[in-house]
Amino acid sequence: MDVPQRWASASPTIPALEVRDLLKSIRFYEQALGLELTQFMTAERRALLSHGDWQLCLAEEREPHPITACFHVAEAEALYRRCNAAGATVAGYLRRAADGHRHFEIEDPDGHRLRIDEQSAP
């Protein structure tokens, strides 16, 4: 099945996570994953964070609904060590899958599970 040209050039999806405390969540993502605050929307109580191709939107809500999101990285072990050093809750330890790639999962302060997958070299 061919992908229509208008979809082939679409911008990447940006996960949006609901969080109870926007500033606390920004600090978590800066420390654990090395994301940088790109935009802070005071009136909307939203923030956009990024690192390389990664982008993440945080939206402050009274009752956040946790989700699972997956991110692809070039090297999982260094990020795993960084998450541990930052005190992130490890929900799935660094391990190698049957196809050879490595992955792990962490949980953020609002219960969102983040699966970090190491991309295989082409």
Burial 31-63 (b: 16+ CB within 10 A, else e): ebbbbeeeeeeeeeebbbbebeebbbbbbbeee
CATH 3.30.420.40 assigned to 12-118: no
pTM of the model: 0.84
Provide the residue ranges of all domains of the chain, joining segments of one domain with +: 12-118
Q: What is the pLDDT of residue 101?
A: 85
pLDDT per residue as tens digits for the range 43-82: 999 999 998 878 999 999 999 999 998 888 888 999 999 9
